[in-house]
Structure formats: C-alpha cells, structure tokens
Structure 1
Amino acid sequence: MKRTDYQPPIQMETLNLKSLERIQPIPKQEFIKRYYRTQQPVLIENLTDTWNGKWTFDHIRALAGEQTIPLYNNKPAEGKESVYEPVMKMRFGDYIDLLKAEPTDLRIFFYTLKDHCPQLLEEFEYPDIGLRFFKRLPALFFGGGLSKVFPHYDIDLPDNLHIHFEGTKRVVLFGPDQSKNLYKVPFSIHNIDKIDLDNPDFDRYPALKNVQGYEVYMKHGDALYMPSGWWHYITYLDGGFSMTLRALPRTPRRVAQMLYNVFVMRLVDNSMRKISGQRWLDFKERWAYRRTQRALQKPA
C-alpha cells in the first residue's frame, strides 16, 4: 500500500558558517604574513606532535588528582551572582572520572598552570610561530559532553593559540566586525544569553541572518589560532580539555581598548551589577536588542 502520510523532515535554518582553513605547520615568517598580520584564524594540525602524548586525563590525574577544583555549568549567572562563583567543587580525580564516564555540563574555567600544576610547564614547548606568548598565563579549560561556552571574546584582547587534548570539540568563530549582528551586550564581552546559536531564532533576532563566521572541529593535539577580539562559541562533543597560550595585544589601539575593557568597562559593569542586580542585566539586554534592530533598519 502506498503511503500518503509521509512528511519530509523540517529543515532548520542555521547560521552562515564556513569551514575554517586547516594547515600543516609552516615557517614562522609565513605564518606571520598569512595569518598574524591579517588577523585571520586558522587551525594547525600536528603542531604539537613532539610533546602532546603526555597530555591526557590520566597524566593530569596523576599530577593533580587530589586537588579540589571549582566547577561551572552552562547556566548564565543571574542578578547579583558573580560569573566567577562556581556551582560546586569536586576532587580533580573524581571530576576526570566523571568526564570519562558520562556526558556532563560541568567544566573547569581558567586553571592556570603556574599556580596549580607547575609540573606541566615543563612538559610542553611554546610553538615558534611568531607570537610573543605571555608566559605567566598558560591556562587549561575542561568540559564534558554537554558543556557549552557562551559566545564571547576575551576581555584582554589577546591573540590566542588554543590547543585541544582528549575528545573532540566544536568551535565557532566570528570576527570583531560581526559584533553588530550578534546582539552584543553593552559593557560586556558577550551577546544576549537567550540566543541559541545552534538553533537561531531569525524571527526574534533577524540580524543573525547577516552573521558570517567559521566552524572547526578539534581533536587531540590540534592548535587553533584565534586573533585578537575574535568571538568564540565552544561546544564539547565529549569529555576533553584544552590549553590556551595568550599573546598580548600588538597595536597601541588594541592596548588602549584592552585597558579600557579591564579597568573601566569591567568596573562599571561589576558595580552596576552589585547595585541593581537583574535589573541591570535586563536593561543591557534591551539596550543590545534595540541598538542592533535600529542598525538593521538603516539603509545600506
């Protein structure tokens, strides 16, 4: 009997994303010319092959498994809550076991090696790609198979080399020029947290139709160059961790913007949040929405 009740699957609209370029290691001067000076992101495969074999869950557990670590989840901070306040604490070894056993949205944010696990500083090589890395702040980030890192750019505007270990993660990147279409929140480094970039609501947020970005999937040992001011939205597809190496801003204009972000913008935002709580957050989101909608309606 011929079926007449079949309905084709609904095709959901998605963002305009291109696959990010993947390259093999190249000479330093070529990297500077093609990517650093042009501020173009790129994923470099096999850049860490000489040392990444030790960078595993089991090795981290052996070095730091007895530490107590703060954990965060996917829920945005509300009201007067601090974004730096963890949702819980756990023994590091138990957290690693959890990552290996089942999906979780619990993640570790900015685990600095110099402060917490200096042994690891002796177990990697700074890639010689032309970046002057700030050697005080190599930091690790851990996440489980349900972890997402909301879209944002780094407040201190570094050029980042983001190296992934264990598991797989998806990274979506947007250039600084895309802030106008992402509904960037004033006095912040993120967009409206109600926006779901995996299932964008183009009716509610029509400017998202104009967004252009890149998508890349990272596996163990991959190194992702993220230029200064680039937005990144990260999804852990299974348990894994990454290390970020940071290079300070390279131009006077970027340095000035970094100083403003760190010493003025953040101070204003934190102060208003302590005074007004959720009212300040709601006000900023309405401001972001109105500003983006007005820009969208201006003639080209």
Structure 2
Amino acid sequence: MGINLKPIDIVDDISKEEFFEKYLKPRRPVVIKNMAKKWPAYQKWTMEYMKEVVGDVEVPLYDSSKADPSAPINASAAQMKFGDYIDLIQREPTDLRIFLFDPIKYAPKLLEDYISPKELMGGFLDKYPNMFFGGKGSVTFLHFDIDMAHIFHTHFNGRKHVLLFDYKWRERLYQIPYATYALEDYDIENPDFTKFPALDGVEGIECFLEHGDTLFMPTGWWHWMKYLDGSFSISLRAWDKSWAVKAHSLWNLTVQRKFDDIMKSSFKKKYMDWKEKMAVKRAEIALKRGLPR
C-alpha cells in the first residue's frame, strides 16, 4: 500500500536533441544541474541581494490554511514588506510563502541575471518570470499550473522537496472540479489510505532541489513542494506547441476561472462542499475502474 515514487532523472548538462527526445516530447520531468551555473544569478542572488533590489515592496503572503470557499483563487493571507519577509524566513521557520511574485516589475535589472534556455526549446515568456519564496517547512499545495505552460524551475539558497505526478492521475489525486488543485484534506507526504483509498497505487516522481538546480516540469504535471530551508525559486515559462494545450490554457484562464469565481461568490460553502464531494466521488470511480490505464 502506498504512493509509488521514483527518483527523478538528473543530468549535469543536456543537448537540445536529448532534451527533446527524452523529456520534452514524452513530457517527462528532469533536473538539470548546471544550467543556472551559467547565470549571473547563480552567484548574485543571495537573500541580501534580493532585499537590496526589492526590499521595500509590499508583497502578499500565503499560508497553509485551507482555502476560503468564498475567496477568489490565490487570495492572500497577509501583507508584508519584502525585506521584512526575507528577515523572517532567515530567522525562523514559517508557513508563510510568497507566490507568483514578479520582481522584474520593480527591479528590471534582474532580467540581466538569468538566461532562458532557448538552446533547449522555444516559446519562452521572457519578461514574465515568477518567483516563489518560502520559509523552512512551508508547503505549496498539490496543483498543476493553470496556464498549462512548460516550466523551468530553478532553486536558490537552500533545499526544496518536490513530488510530481503526471496529469493523467488527476482524478486519483482528488482534483477539485473547476480548479487546478487537489482536495486539501490529505497529507501527500503521509496520506491516510483508509480515508483516501484512491491515492493507493498512484505513481509519481520525487526530487530534492539544491542551490542552482533547475527542474523541468512539462505542461500539466501536478506538483507539491516543501521548503526544507528558507529559500526561493524562479520559474521560466514556455508555451507548448500544441494548439490543444493552448486551448486548454485559455479555457482554464477565462471560462473556468470566471465560472468558479461566480459560483464561489454566489454559493460559498455550499458550492465548496459540493466540489469536495465530487472530487471524492470521481476519485472512487477512477479507482474502481482501474484508471488511469
């Protein structure tokens, strides 16, 4: 009984041809050890440097509490000056995280510190990176990215534990309807298979990121992340060439999100209770049918 986790493939460097055949084409994650070592950020991006360039910016903070049924997706739990937050995560463990932060907006010179790996693939959204900061022990709940982009996720100044699951496992992971995240009532590190039997037998990939490691997450892959140290990451996003994936992204970002926000504001807890019941029902059906095959 359990979730079947395999270690991720790890390479020091990789050619465009090998990357395409082994990882991009089959949509398989990989950790690239040396990619970020070519960036100025590899040496420059310390906690103190980030404080220096964007320390006075007020940032939204997110915690590990269960989502408020009436709140829009990505609603923050608190606000704090970025510099004060950096001091906090260096000083002590905290479950507060910074999510989808765009530092380029406040410090354009940071654009000079990293290089999109266009030698591996195209489609990068060069001017729209996202950064993520977390205190020791903080967790990013299990989800897949709403825009369905490929992601090159590079970590700095510490360690991060990552669990990854192919999109095909979404029902067995108890995906919430009209959302890109899973039921928040189980601990993916130590699930209760009696309460959540559909998790038994789910297959995933596990990795531990260190300073400068780059994780390639293909479109649609579910991910759960835990900060083992106060640290941060940057995600560089690239569009998939498939028009079906682009259409899925557009649907998620427009129709689905708008519908979900309207239903939340109109029916609040009643709507969330229905969604959670449906997540359980769909997971049980998928398990009974032996899905995915």
* 2:10 is the counterpart of 1:22: yes
- The one of 12, 16, 23 equivalent to 1:35 is 23
TM-score, length basis structure 2? 0.94
Residues 1:221 and 2:209 are matched in the alignment: no
Please give the secondary structure, in 1, of the residue aligned with 2:240: coil
Spell out the pairing of 1:19-98 with structure 2 (5 A cutoff): 19-51=7-39, 52-98=42-88
2:154 is aligned to 163
Bigger shift: residues 152-161 or 89-98 = 89-98
Aligned mates of 1:298, 1:138 — CA distance in 2: 40
**Residues matched between the structures, number:** 288
* Partner in structure 2 of residue 293 of structure 1: 284
Name 1:179's counterpart in structure 2. 170
Aligned to 1:269: 260
Q: Distance in 2 between matches of 1:79 and 1:181?
A: 22
What is the 5 A alignment of 1:176-215? 176-215=167-206
Aligned-residue offset at 1:159: 0.4
AA aligned opposite 1:103? P
RMSD (CA atoms): 1.4
Distance change (3 Å), C-alpha of 1:295 and 1:125: closer
CA apart distance, 1:136: 2.9
- Aligned partner of residue 48 in structure 1, secondary structure: helix
What is the CA–CA distance in structure 1 between the aligned matches of 2:2 and 2:61, rounded to whole Å? 31
Tell me the alpha carbon deviations over residues 148-199 of structure 1, each in whole angstroms, 9 at most, x when there is no partner: 0000001110000000001100010000111121111110111111021111
Relative to 1, partners in 2 of residues 1:83 and 1:198: Cα closer, same or farther, differing over 3 Å? same
Give % identity: 38
- The secondary structure found in structure 2 opposite 1:241 is strand
Cα offset for 1:212?
0.2
Q: SS of the counterpart of 1:170?
A: strand
Distance in 2 separating the partners of 1:202 and 1:214? 19
Post-superposition shift, 1:113? Answer: 3.1
3-state SS of the aligned residue for 1:164? Answer: strand
- Mapped contact 1:14–1:199 kept (Cα < 8 A): no
2 CA distance for matches of 1:203 and 1:38?
A: 33
CA spacing shift, 1:176–1:84, aligned 2, 3 Å:
closer
Which position in structure 1 is the counterpart of 2:234? Answer: 243
| One-letter amino acid matched to 2:88 | L
Q: CA deviation at 1:131?
A: 3.5
Equivalent residue of 1:90, what SS?
strand
Alpha-carbon deviation of 1:279?
A: 1.1
C-alpha displacement of 1:79: 2.5
Preserved CA contact (<8 Å) 1:170 1:234 = yes
Distance change (3 Å), C-alpha of 1:281 and 1:211: same
Change (3 A) 1:91 1:298: closer
Segments of 5+ residues of structure 2 without an aligned counterpart are: none
Name the CA distance, whole Å, in 2 between partners of 1:163 and 1:125. Answer: 11
Cα pair distance change 1:67/1:299, threshold 3 Å: closer
CA contact (8 A) 1:113 1:137 kept: no
Once residues 180 and 74 of structure 2 are traced to their aligned partners in structure 1, the CA distance between those partners, rounded to angstroms, is: 15
5+ long unaligned stretches in structure 1: 1-12
C-alpha displacement of 1:17: 0.6
Superposition deviation, residue 299 in structure 1: 6.6
How far does residue 211 in structure 1 lie from its aligned partner after superposition? 0.6
1:258 aligns with 2:249: yes
Give the whole-Å Cα distance in 1 for the aligned partners of 2:234 and 2:252.
23
Once residues 31 and 195 of structure 1 are traced to their aligned partners in structure 2, the CA distance between those partners, rounded to angstroms, is 34
Point out the structure with max Rg over C-alpha. 1
